[in-house]
Amino acid sequence: MIVVNPKSVHLLKGYLLASQAESQLQNRWRAKLQTAFAKRQQKYETAASQREKEKQATNRDILTGVIYVLGGVGISVVCFLVPLLFHSSANFWKIVGAITLTLTSMLGTGLGVFWLIQLTLPKPQPPANPFQSDIFSPILPQWKTALKTSLPPAIQAGDVGEHAFIRNLQLMLGNDYFLLSGIQQRHGEDVDVVLIGPKGVWVFEVKYWSGTIRWRSGQWSRTKTYHAPGGIPTTEQKTISQPPDKQWQRVAADVSKSIQIRCPELGARYLGGIAIKGGLVFTHQEANYEIGPGVPIAGIFSMVAGPFAGGHPRFPIGGKLIQ
């Protein structure tokens, strides 16, 4: 999953430009690349043929040199054996044998150096086929990489839960999903998480609320226990003035409207008839829930496995959250 930098703009335009440029590399320049490749291939084949002829000639020269070296060694041995076999003057034959052995050694040394030089000579390299190798790096993956960003430091308490939720999504989803975090569709109200993938668009309102969260008869409330000044245990129950389900419905409608206004072709092509999905995500590890039947939002999720009161399922990350 790619977390998109919120400063990135004109993403659709950038995607189309990257796609067109990548297509042009493979199509507009195909004939020119093929012509240039054919010339390089012909040049390579000529050089490789010449190299093979030189190699065969070199092998013949080395073989001839080896024969001369073996012959010189044989002559030297004979020269050293003649005085023993025929009782001739030893000095003369020793001198002849030494000269022959010296010349043979020089020839053998030169032959070895010549062979090593031949091994180090560069060989002609076949040209890279522009349509079978990575001469042109794919542009779309580079475009995707340029969109990526890391999560900013958690400043407010709610950032902790939001970041935890995003990290869990990263473990679940591949790079065909894009995520935007903390964008504003209207003044003073953030859209916590927008997830765009092959199967649609999800909007998530993330709440990092501890205590007991209730929904009864259309009313949200929250009960939490804490220590007041002086260490006195205090239990406090408050009505939630901004119902989170209404908040999600509002931001989801804003996202849907933005898609229709800013990229109608994309929306019509990929999102036609598909409603914005998602819902509320509760991320605090010490929260409890009393959410009875009739809650006016289908998507309610928690990062902790276990059942909601009233028979509503609590989905852990990795369950039926994305489908």
Q: pLDDT > 70: what percent of the chain?
A: 87
**Which residues lie below 8 Å from residue 175, measured CB to CB, with a gap of 6+?**
1, 2, 144
Range of the domain at 106: 27-120
178/221 same-domain check? yes
189/303 same-domain check? yes
Distance between CA atoms of residues 192 and 149, nearest Å: 16
Give the model's pLDDT for residue 46: 92
User: In terms of Cα–Cα distance, which of 312, 262, 274 is closest to 292?
Assistant: 312
158/258 same-domain check? yes
Task: Characterize the bridge pairing of strands 178-186 and 287-291.
Answer: unpaired
Give the model's pLDDT for residue 152: 74
Averaged pLDDT of the chain: 80
304/158 same-domain check? yes
Report yes or no on 1 lying in a domain: no
Mean pLDDT of 181-200: 85
Residue 182, pLDDT > 50, answer yes
Name the DSSP class of 309: G
Model confidence over 16-53: pLDDT tens digits? 888 888 777 777 777 787 888 889 999 999 999 998 89
How far apart, in Å, are the Cα atoms of 39 and each of 44, 76, 115, 126, 136? 9, 55, 32, 11, 19
Confidence of residue 80 (pLDDT cuts 50, 70, 90): confident
230/174 same-domain check? yes
Model confidence over 204-261: pLDDT tens digits? 999 998 888 888 888 899 998 877 787 778 888 888 888 999 999 999 989 888 888 8
Confidence of residue 322 (pLDDT cuts 50, 70, 90): very low
Confidence of residue 320 (pLDDT cuts 50, 70, 90): very low
Report yes or no on 310 lying in a domain: yes
Mean pLDDT of 162-169: 88
231/287 same-domain check? yes
Model confidence over 259-288: pLDDT tens digits? 888 777 766 665 555 678 888 888 888 888
Give the model's pLDDT for residue 304: 56
Report yes or no on 307 lying in a domain: yes
Report yes or no on 194 lying in a domain: yes
Whose tokens are 């809650």? That residue is 295
Report yes or no on 127 lying in a domain: no
Mean pLDDT of 138-165: 82
282/207 same-domain check? yes
How far apart, in Å, are the Cα atoms of 149 and each of 1, 29, 70, 249, 286? 11, 34, 72, 27, 30
Mean pLDDT of 179-195: 86
155/236 same-domain check? yes
178-183: long-range contacts, CB 8 A cutoff, minimum separation 24:
178/1, 178/2, 178/4, 178/147, 179/1, 179/2, 179/3, 179/4, 180/4, 180/6, 181/3, 181/6, 181/151, 182/6, 183/6
Q: pLDDT > 90: what percent of the chain?
A: 8
116/155 same-domain check? no
199/68 same-domain check? no
**At residue 297, what is the residue type?**
I
Residue 310, pLDDT > 50, answer no
297/193 same-domain check? yes
155/292 same-domain check? yes
Distance between CA atoms of residues 68 and 59, nearest Å: 14
Give the model's pLDDT for residue 314: 40
Residue 311, pLDDT > 70, answer no
- Number of structural domains the chain divides into: 2
Between residues 83 and 144, the one the model is more confident about: 144
Confidence of residue 199 (pLDDT cuts 50, 70, 90): confident
Please, what is the angle between helix 139-147 and helix 11-27, to 10°?
A: 160
